[in-house]
């Protein structure tokens, strides 16, 4: 009788260990996933079937071809502030606080694409085209991305910017 109880307990114990080790049931793993990840990519007008060029969905139901190597990524954005848009009432422009790599990337793309459009993607979906403003000083670490961005999107990007930066780069080191 005792051995029969032991035989019944072993599968239950195995199931318990499996469930405890399963990360899908961990609530913290969901909070560590980046969300509202934004990238700024080159728009490809004439795709050449290159592996770097991909077709992405757009929020309006169409698709756009972009270069999959992002110039700027959420891993380079420390913080986002919402600035009321001068173009459209109730909408916002985004002021991005960049890390050193992001600042260098922005300097390069603001010169190369001063009169062209770049794709602004959120979670891999094309949101809109943006034209980068030049930086006024090499010592500045903030740039303005002119929208207009709707309030819900702008608030979501702002709310997730610091969390995404920490997810990609780890906690900042204390001096």
Predicted structure pTM score: 0.76
Q: pLDDT band for position 23 (50/70/90)?
A: very low
Is residue 111 scored above 60 in pLDDT?
yes
| pLDDT tens-digit map of 136-163 | 777 888 999 988 899 999 999 999 999 9
Rounded Cα distance, 139 and 137, in Å: 5
Cα→Cα distances 60→121, 127, 128, 163, Å: 13, 8, 10, 28
More confident site: 8 or 52: 52
In order of their start, the domains of the chain are 35-169 (3.30.1360.200)
């Amino acid at each position: 009788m005792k051995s029969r109880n032991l035989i019944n307990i072993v599968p239950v114990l195995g199931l318990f260990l499996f469930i405890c080790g399963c990360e899908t049931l961990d609530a913290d793993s969901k909070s560590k996933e980046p969300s509202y990840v934004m990238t700024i990519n080159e728009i490809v007008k004439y795709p050449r079937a290159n592996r770097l060029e991909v077709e992405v969905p757009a929020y309006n139901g169409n698709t756009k071809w972009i270069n999959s190597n992002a110039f700027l990524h959420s891993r380079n954005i420390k913080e986002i502030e919402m600035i009321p848009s001068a173009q459209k009432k109730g909408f916002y422009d985004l002021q991005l606080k960049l890390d050193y790599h992001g600042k260098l990337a922005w300097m390069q793309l603001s010169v190369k694409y001063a009169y062209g459009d770049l794709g602004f993607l959120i979670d891999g979906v094309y949101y809109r085209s943006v034209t980068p403003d030049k930086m006024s000083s090499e010592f500045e670490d903030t740039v303005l991305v002119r929208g207009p961005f709707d309030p819900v999107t702008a608030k979501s990007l702002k709310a997730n910017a610091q969390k995404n930066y920490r997810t990609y780069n780890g906690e900042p080191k204390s001096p």
